[in-house]
Structure 1
Amino acid sequence: MTKIRKVLDISGRFLFVLAILALTFIFAMFQGGKVSWTIFYCLLPFVIYSTLLFFYPLSEISVKRSIRTEGIQNGGKFLVSLLVKRKSRFPLLYTVVTEKWAEDAQDLVADNRLKQLFIFGFRKEMEWQYEIEQMPRGEHVLQGVMVEISDFFGWFRKTKFIDAKDTILVFPKIIDLHYVSFDTQYDRGTLASLLNIVKDTTMATGVRGYQPGDRVTWIHWKSFARTQTLMTKEFEDRRSQELFLLLDGRVSATFEEQVELTASIMKEASSHQANLELMTTGLESSIFPYIQSEEQLHQAFVHLAKIKPVEQERVAPLVDLGMGLQLGGLVVLITGKPDRIFMQSVLRSVKNAKSIICFVVVKDNESTSKELENDIRTVKSEGVVVHVLGREQFREAFKEVTSR
């Protein structure tokens, strides 16, 4: 139906141009005189150009998009370059190129910068760059480019959509945290056992005599070939922390800040060799277990870039999907609404409530509501460590918790 409308629109405009020519010709024939024929001959070049534009194939126009910024974070700048090419040198006057995004809200974000007017003339290519100052976090789809050409007076217009799909991922903003491993034994005495002594097998620090139970891969075969005595490599002991991040995926006024805090903790904890796991609640709660490699970390960041908050009634029950919480270790819960129903589902999935640290994210310079304060008191009464954070406090979040 759209194609039929498009054909009818083009045909109607073309007939309108021919009707103008016919009317001016009839007027000149019947009226006579120099003025009438002058009007006819003045309009004739414009009508001829419109007629030629009718037969001009838009299929010869192509667009190449180049994305100039990679790895964009929330609030970062997004720069795109578009190269519009054509095969012939047919003179084109008014050519409007419009970038089409999947979401309508992108037009507001771009502040109407997604449309550009070109006057090609006889040139075969034109380049256009546009910039979006603050890209929001999420997955954004560039569907293609709409090209529209017009004659002198806008009597005749032709449009063509050129498919050029690109997907842009805008990641959460990463904040540099002062990460502190939770090896501090404070009054509850719950965090010391969360650190395990493991062997860093990437580098041997020496050799010792073989002992029953040593792995075959640890045997120093060069020493054995030289001395005929089994020797075992010695490795440096390092402390490894089990860290389970749980992001509350419900709609909240601070949801973007929650995602940023989660991503920042992941980035910093991974650089300190913590054994990471990530779980996000939502329609189908997602779990990323054993995040150790860069690829696994990147997959988790991609998920955080795409995640969208859901309403309370649409969240999948955590009790059914939270078996990963049974693995032990420190559970870091990041939420904006620690209400009783949600926290009870978390507590049912965790063996020890004292192994939970709950970061309640609030807006900077805004006082907490009485309802939120009551929820925090209730959560603390269950034995959960609660820490209220604004964005400005993210950097010192771990320091402040361990010092309590």
Structure 2
Amino acid sequence: MNSKLQRVTSSFVRLLLVVLLLAVALLFAIIQGGFVLWFVFFMLAPFVLYSVFLFLTPINDMTIIRQAPTGRLQQGQDIKLKVTLQRKSFMPILFIVVQEMQPKGVFSQLEQQMMRKIVPIGFKRQVNWYYHIPNLPRGKQELVGIQVTIVDFLGWVRKTNYVTAPITLIVYPKIVPLHFDRLISHDQGQFSQAQKPQIQQSTMVSSVREYSPGDRMSWIHWKSFAKTGDLQTKEFEQQQNEDACIVLDGLNGPRFEGQVSLTASILNAVSKQQERVSFLSAGQQHVFFEGIESQQELQKALLHLAVIKPGNFHAVHKYAQDQALRSAKTIVFITSALTEEWLEVLARLVKKSNSIIVYIVRRDTQELFAEDIAIEEQAKVRGIIVHTIYEGDFSSYGKEDRK
């Protein structure tokens, strides 16, 4: 409210100065006379009159309409965003200055000249301009509103108004077609004929352990909680299912975008085969999608992949006792750098899972260092299958283990 009052006061003061300038020119012309002074007066008069009319022109009647491309936006896509400004007044305006306010995502990274434009308008009641954005990054891209400024010929009178025009673009990860006819065997960690999932879960409690974030409420041992006040989770004799679990490493990695793209591609390919798979987003926040079968469930997982951001956390503390990992019979772990922490977590699951396969996304062979080789060799010794897959070429996925 204060800023709006300041803008109105500033415009009014500017108008008074312009009118005062014309009055002074008229006064000198009347008193002194002469061609030059009257010429100056008549030269200033049209500009001053236009400034007065511009000051009286309403600017609050302007509306902004944005038109984004229809359909799903995908990472790496080029788009053209159309912006339309409409007004009701017939008053001619030489030009307007439009500037995007508080842009988020990719829009905040665009050059200032794209976010601030001078648009000629004249007698038009509708004008258009465009934003061309190449190579869209994954994530949520937002525009909130536009600040519209009108000025007279010489910049004496200036009026500003903020027009809200929110738009949110969700850019999904790039999905690469994967061609494989077989899913991972739960017995050998190889590709064999897929079987329909069958849940194998017993209600026989074998032991209790410390509660871990992500555990179901139904697994909590309420009797021990009533006695000790500490949350503990029940462990069952059989608490595994036949679903493969795709696990995305949420740690900050050198090729995190490649990890997300590979994960989305796998989920999409499995869905097309009408198979069932679980998905765990193992980041700072534990997000688990159990038994993805329908398109609706797939879209929820892809939406999560569209907005996920990497972070830093201690994998052992957060996921060593994670029930989603412990209950999975087959784990496909996708990362760009296998760390010692994640190796320890996966090694603890070797006895519980029939197979654990790690896919390491790299740009090229130059990203392979001695410490990476050492950790990967340790993983293989502990019974974990490790494969390298290169960013931009996921066609090798699913072919490494075929006989």
TM over 0.5: yes
User: What is the alpha-carbon distance in structure 2 between the residues aligned to residue 184 and residue 353 of structure 1?
Assistant: 12
Q: Hey, what does 1:380 align to over in structure 2?
A: 380
**Other structure's SS at 2:154 match:** coil
Number of equivalences: 360
Q: Hey, what does 2:122 align to over in structure 1?
A: 121
> Deviations along 1:326-381, whole A, 9 cap, x unmatched?
33332110011211112223444564455111001111353412222222122222
> Deviations along 1:368-395, whole A, 9 cap, x unmatched?
1222222212222221100011114311
User: What is the alpha-carbon distance in structure 2 between the residues aligned to residue 329 and residue 140 of structure 1?
Assistant: 38
User: What is the alpha-carbon distance in structure 2 between the residues aligned to residue 99 and residue 189 of structure 1?
Assistant: 56
User: Which consecutive unaligned segments of at least 5 residues does structure 1 have?
Assistant: 200-239
Change (3 A) 1:41 1:65: same
**Other structure's SS at 2:166 match:** strand
1:241-280 matches, within 5 Å, as 242-280=243-281
Q: Hey, what does 2:103 align to over in structure 1?
A: 102
Change (3 A) 1:334 1:149: same
**Other structure's SS at 1:398 match:** coil
Change (3 A) 1:276 1:20: farther
Change (3 A) 1:141 1:124: same
Change (3 A) 1:88 1:259: same
Q: Hey, what does 1:336 align to over in structure 2?
A: 336
What RMSD over aligned residues (CA atoms) do the two structures have, in Å? 2.8
Q: Which runs of 4+ in 1 moved over 6 A?
A: none
The answer as to whether partners of 2:191 and 2:398 remain within 8 angstroms in 1 is: no
User: What is the alpha-carbon distance in structure 2 between the residues aligned to residue 331 and residue 32 of structure 1?
Assistant: 95
Q: Which segment drifts farther, 256-265 or 52-61?
A: 52-61
User: What is the alpha-carbon distance in structure 2 between the residues aligned to residue 365 and residue 192 of structure 1?
Assistant: 26
**Other structure's SS at 1:96 match:** strand
**Other structure's SS at 1:257 match:** helix
1:337 alignment partner AA: A
Q: Hey, what does 1:371 align to over in structure 2?
A: 371
1:389-404 matches, within 5 Å, as 389-403=389-403
Shift of 1:251: 0.9
The answer as to whether partners of 1:148 and 1:157 remain within 8 angstroms in 2 is: yes
User: What is the alpha-carbon distance in structure 1 between the residues aligned to residue 78 and residue 386 of structure 2?
Assistant: 35
1:359 alignment partner AA: Y
Q: Hey, what does 1:155 align to over in structure 2?
A: 156
Shift of 1:309: 0.9
2:383 alignment partner AA: G
1:79 aligns with 2:106: no
- Identity, in percent, stands at 31
2:74 alignment partner AA: Q
User: What is the alpha-carbon distance in structure 2 between the residues aligned to residue 62 and residue 316 of structure 1?
Assistant: 52
Q: Hey, what does 2:36 align to over in structure 1?
A: 35
The answer as to whether partners of 1:172 and 1:304 remain within 8 angstroms in 2 is: yes
Query: TM-score, with normalisation over the residues of structure 2?
Result: 0.81
The answer as to whether partners of 1:242 and 1:328 remain within 8 angstroms in 2 is: yes
Query: TM-score, with normalisation over the residues of structure 1?
Result: 0.81
1:178 alignment partner AA: H
User: Which consecutive unaligned segments of at least 5 residues does structure 2 have?
Assistant: 199-240
1:362 alignment partner AA: R
Shift of 1:65: 1.4
Q: Hey, what does 1:14 align to over in structure 2?
A: 15
1:196 aligns with 2:198: no
